[in-house]
């Protein structure tokens, strides 16, 4: 009986020792940095080297934080520019925890850091954009605009484009410097900041789209008008060329007909001069053939040429 009690106590002791050891030993990963708190207050220095570490069981608690770069993806916000243009601005940043102890004391965890970064980055973005023109936010240099050829032909591009005084890159650096200054006492560092998206608000977009549609419709109407004028010019030119061709064809036909008549007259004259009686008879027969049909009643004089030829034929 005593041996069984001893075995039971030994097992209980082993289990208690295992629990104590498991509560005393913790692992620090290569991607982590750790601080230990006792009754909610940090104790000791932050641990950033990986491996097995020891702590007081049950009393001390391990808080692990990322050592790698973290991202901040802000919500799109409506921001006014210095020239009173309302735009939607969506931002993006990368940051890291440089001092886990200070980070824990000021922000507790990553959720608190994200909330604080949202206030800081959004505020500095608004301050920067409100001090600059819209052209500085959407462009980084004064390289020439790529303008559609139809707008140039239509005379839409009449004014010189606005000049960039600062540019997006400079505004990005300005926001980054301001946020780094405000986060220096939070145990974090802003590594990079970018404007992810910049766009007009819906009301302005509708006005821009309406203006674009109006411009395109006017250009289309101008093209249709020019096309109608060109079609009328081509039709007029076609009519003139047709009249010239018809006139030339008529002239040539009259010349050919005149030459044919002249040649026929020469042939008739030659035939008449060779045998006048036969020519006279032939012309008479042709006249009879063209002037008499089966229903014609013909009255001939005894002195007429027709009757004389008929009597001779009998």
pLDDT band at 78; cut points 50, 70, 90: confident
- Do 174 and 123 belong to one domain? yes
Q: Which of 200, 234, 252 is the last residue of a domain?
A: 200
- Do 248 and 150 belong to one domain? no
- Do 109 and 164 belong to one domain? yes
As a whole number of angstroms, the distance between CA 219 and CA 201 comes to 27
How many domains does the chain contain in total? 4
Q: What is the mean pLDDT of residues 187-197?
A: 90
- Do 176 and 96 belong to one domain? yes
Q: What is the mean pLDDT of residues 220-224?
A: 83
Q: What is the mean pLDDT of residues 262-290?
A: 72
Q: Which of 29, 51, 66 is the last residue of a domain?
A: 66
244-272: b or e for each residue (b if 16 or more CB lie within 10 Å)?
A: eeeeeeeeeeeeeeeeeeeeeeeeeeeee
- Do 9 and 56 belong to one domain? yes
pTM for the complete prediction?
Answer: 0.57
Give the tokens for residue 200: 């007009």
φ/ψ bin of 84: left (φ > 0), alpha (ψ from -120 to 50), beta (otherwise)? left
Give the tokens for residue 4: 């069984």
- Asked if the structure places residue 279 within a domain, the reply is no
- Asked if the structure places residue 38 within a domain, the reply is yes
Q: Which domain holds residue 220?
A: 203-274
140-171 per-position pLDDT tens digit: 777 765 656 555 555 554 454 567 778 888 89
| DSSP letter (8 states) at residue 204 | H
- Do 77 and 171 belong to one domain? yes
As a whole number of angstroms, the distance between CA 97 and CA 187 comes to 6
């Amino acid at each position: 009986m005593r041996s069984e009690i001893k075995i039971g106590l030994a097992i209980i002791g082993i289990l208690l020792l295992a629990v104590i050891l498991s509560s005393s030993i913790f692992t620090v990963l290569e991607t982590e940095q750790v601080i230990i708190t006792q009754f909610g207050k940090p104790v000791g220095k932050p641990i950033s080297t990986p491996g097995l570490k020891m702590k007081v069981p049950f009393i001390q608690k391990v808080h692990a934080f990322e050592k790698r770069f973290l991202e901040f993806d802000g919500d799109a916000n409506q921001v006014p520019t210095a020239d009173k243009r309302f735009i939607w601005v969506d931002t993006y940043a990368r940051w890291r925890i440089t001092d886990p102890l200070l980070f824990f004391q000021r922000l507790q965890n990553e959720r608190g850091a994200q909330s604080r970064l949202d206030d800081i980055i959004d505020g500095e973005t608004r301050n920067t954009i409100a001090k600059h023109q819209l052209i500085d936010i959407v462009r980084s240099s004064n390289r020439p605009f790529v303008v559609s050829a139809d707008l140039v032909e239509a005379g839409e591009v009449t004014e010189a484009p606005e000049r960039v005084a600062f540019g997006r890159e400079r505004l990005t650096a300005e926001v980054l410097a301001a946020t780094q200054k405000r986060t220096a006492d939070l145990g974090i560092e802003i590594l990079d900041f970018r404007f992810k998206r910049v766009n007009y608000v819906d009301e302005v977009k509708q006005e821009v789209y309406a203006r674009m549609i109006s411009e395109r419709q006017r250009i289309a109407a101008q093209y249709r008008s020019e096309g109608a004028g060109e079609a009328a010019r081509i039709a007029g030119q076609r009519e003139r060329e047709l009249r010239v061709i018809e006139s030339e064809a008529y002239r040539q036909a009259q010349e050919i007909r005149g030459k044919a008549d002249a040649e026929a007259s020469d042939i008739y004259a030659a035939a008449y001069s060779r045998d006048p009686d036969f020519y006279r008879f032939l012309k008479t027969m042709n006249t009879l053939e063209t002037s008499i049909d089966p229903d014609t009643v013909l009255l001939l004089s005894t002195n007429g040429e027709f009757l004389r030829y008929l009597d001779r034929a009998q």
